[in-house]
């Protein structure tokens, strides 16, 4: 949670007092509908759908793209595990690609992994760092693939002047406690495609046909589930959206100072669009894993939040047990790993370059609320903790 306060409390109170706590209502517009309009307007996209989680948004995005059994979806080896589990949830097979030093999916490895069954790529803007969207979109066009941007960690980030999540065919967002904006739990999908939106809407709420007054789909109705958001959460999220620009400018301001203070002392990871980067972390690379872990330990002793991404648990593919052990569903008959004719081999060693990069990188977290004075103190500590020869 970055910034949270009176506005959110006021928004929640307004909804509680109205007694209208639901995403759809018979008369008047709901907070959820207002949020969706405001979001689409700000991000310049045609359709937006708020729902219960980022994982739900990824699943709805894939369903919206009509991805299912027999299809392969390429995901990066460094991302929260749900990016890789979402394809399984729609019956498809996740194919794991290496990342490069930008900490995002390596377009060259994506090319290597394309098969006749590949239908989509999920580039993930990890820690707010934009992917190489030019290369990814070019590959997608050439091979007729769909692109679902996982922008869960990159709300408001941009690539060459366009909001992350609007460059591909659809973008997924999360509003859980670790993200740039939060309402407790929440997620959302944005797209310019009416068909993707319609299928996502139908999957996210099997009752949308009678609940949503404006429901006029271009696609056939099918069995959905329930990933609906509460209007209480949407109201809180609207207040959070009002803070997005100031949160981002605080984070980007800190990162600019950190990086300019450290650039001569340490190798900073390359960034595909430094201006569009959300500024969530400052990422630096060391020659060896040992230098990186010693640096983290020294920082921890001074109470500074830093981490090697290799130590971030289920953000690293080698800790994705359901994938590595090929347990893709609750019953074998629904398990893509059992019913698909082609299943790739997975192993903890399959992406050696990713492991090497994640072991040698250190992430230093920025803060949206820290004073300039406190930031300069942290930077002084970081300079002291740096090994003498790192560049």
Ligand X SMILES: *Cc1c(COP(=O)(O)O)cnc(C)c1O
- Provide the binding-site residues for ligand X, judged by CB under 6 A: 53-55, 79-80, 82-83, 124, 150, 152-153, 174, 176, 187
Task: Give 165 or 187: the residue with its C-beta nearer to ligand X.
Answer: 187
Report how far residue 379's alpha carbon sits from residue 280's, in angstroms, rounded to the nearest whole number: 16
Report how far residue 386's alpha carbon sits from residue 267's, in angstroms, rounded to the nearest whole number: 11
CB of 105 to ligand X, least distance (A): 12
Task: Give 87 or 378: the residue with its C-beta nearer to ligand X.
Answer: 87
Task: Give 89 or 296: the residue with its C-beta nearer to ligand X.
Answer: 89
Mind giving me the DSSP string for 93-129? Answer: EEEEE-B-TTSSB-HHHHHHH--TTEEEE--B-GGGP
Q: Residue 225 is encoded by which pair of tokens?
A: 């589930």
Task: Give 89 or 299: the residue with its C-beta nearer to ligand X.
Answer: 89
Report how far residue 239's alpha carbon sits from residue 128's, in angstroms, rounded to the nearest whole number: 21
- Closest residue to bound ligand X by CB: 54
Report how far residue 300's alpha carbon sits from residue 122's, in angstroms, rounded to the nearest whole number: 33
Report how far residue 202's alpha carbon sits from residue 259's, in angstroms, rounded to the nearest whole number: 45
Task: Give 247 or 378: the residue with its C-beta nearer to ligand X.
Answer: 247
Q: Residue 332 is encoded by which pair of tokens?
A: 């074998």
CB of 36 to ligand X, least distance (A): 17
Q: Please, is 391 exposed, middle or buried when counting C-beta atoms within 10 Å of its C-beta (0-12, 13-18, 19+)?
A: exposed
CB of 351 to ligand X, least distance (A): 17
Task: Give 187 or 328: the residue with its C-beta nearer to ligand X.
Answer: 187
CB of 214 to ligand X, least distance (A): 26
Q: Where are the alpha helices (DSSP H) in the chain?
A: 6-18, 31-43, 54-64, 82-89, 107-113, 133-143, 194-204, 208-211, 231-241, 244-262, 289-301, 321-324, 336-339, 352-360, 372-385
Task: Give 89 or 306: the residue with its C-beta nearer to ligand X.
Answer: 89
Q: Please name every residue paired with 149 in a beta bridge, in sequence order, or none if there are none.
A: 171
CB of 310 to ligand X, least distance (A): 16
Q: Residue 260 is encoded by which pair of tokens?
A: 């300019």
CB of 125 to ligand X, least distance (A): 8
CB of 265 to ligand X, least distance (A): 30
């Amino acid at each position: 949670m970055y910034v949270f306060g009176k506005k959110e409390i006021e928004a929640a109170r307004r909804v509680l007092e109205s007694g209208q706590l639901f995403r759809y209502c018979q008369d008047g517009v709901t907070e959820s509908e207002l949020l969706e309009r405001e979001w689409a307007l700000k991000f310049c996209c045609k359709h937006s759908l708020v729902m219960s989680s980022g994982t739900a948004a990824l699943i709805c995005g894939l369903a919206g793209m009509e991805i299912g059994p027999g299809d392969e979806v390429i995901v990066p080896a460094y991302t929260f595990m749900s990016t890789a589990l979402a394809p399984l949830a729609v019956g498809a097979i996740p194919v794991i690609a290496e990342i490069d030093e930008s900490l995002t999916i390596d377009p060259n490895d994506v090319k290597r992994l394309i098969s006749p069954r590949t239908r989509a790529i999920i580039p993930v803007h990890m820690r707010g760092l934009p992917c190489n969207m030019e290369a990814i979109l070019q590959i997608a066009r050439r091979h007729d693939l769909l692109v679902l941007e996982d922008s869960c960690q990159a709300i408001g980030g941009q690539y060459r002047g366009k909001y992350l999540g609007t460059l591909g065919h659809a973008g997924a967002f999360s509003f859980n406690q670790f993200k740039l904006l939060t309402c407790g739990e929440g997620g959302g999908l944005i797209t310019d495609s009416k068909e993707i939106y319609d299928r996502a809407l139908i999957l996210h709420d099997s009752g949308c046909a009678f609940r949503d007054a404006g429901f006029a789909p271009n696609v056939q109705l099918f069995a959905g589930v329930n990933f609906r958001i509460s209007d209480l959460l949407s109201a809180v999220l609207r207040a959070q959206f009002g803070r997005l620009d100031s949160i981002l400018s605080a984070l980007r301001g800190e990162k600019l100072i950190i990086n300019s203070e450290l650039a001569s002392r340490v190798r900073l990871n390359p960034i595909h669009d430094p201006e569009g980067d959300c500024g969530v972390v400052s990422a630096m690379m060391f020659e060896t894993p040992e230098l990186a872990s010693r640096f983290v330990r020294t920082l921890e002793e001074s109470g500074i939040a830093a981490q090697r991404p290799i130590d971030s648990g289920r953000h690293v593919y080698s800790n994705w047990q359901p994938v590595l052990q090929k347990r893709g569903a609750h019953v074998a008959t629904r398990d893509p790993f059992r019913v698909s004719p082609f299943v790739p081999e997975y192993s903890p060693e399959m992406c050696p370059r990713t492991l090497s990069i994640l072991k040698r990188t250190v992430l230093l977290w920025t803060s949206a609320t820290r004073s300039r004075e406190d930031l300069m103190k942290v930077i002084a500590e970081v300079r002291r903790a740096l090994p003498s020869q790192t560049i």
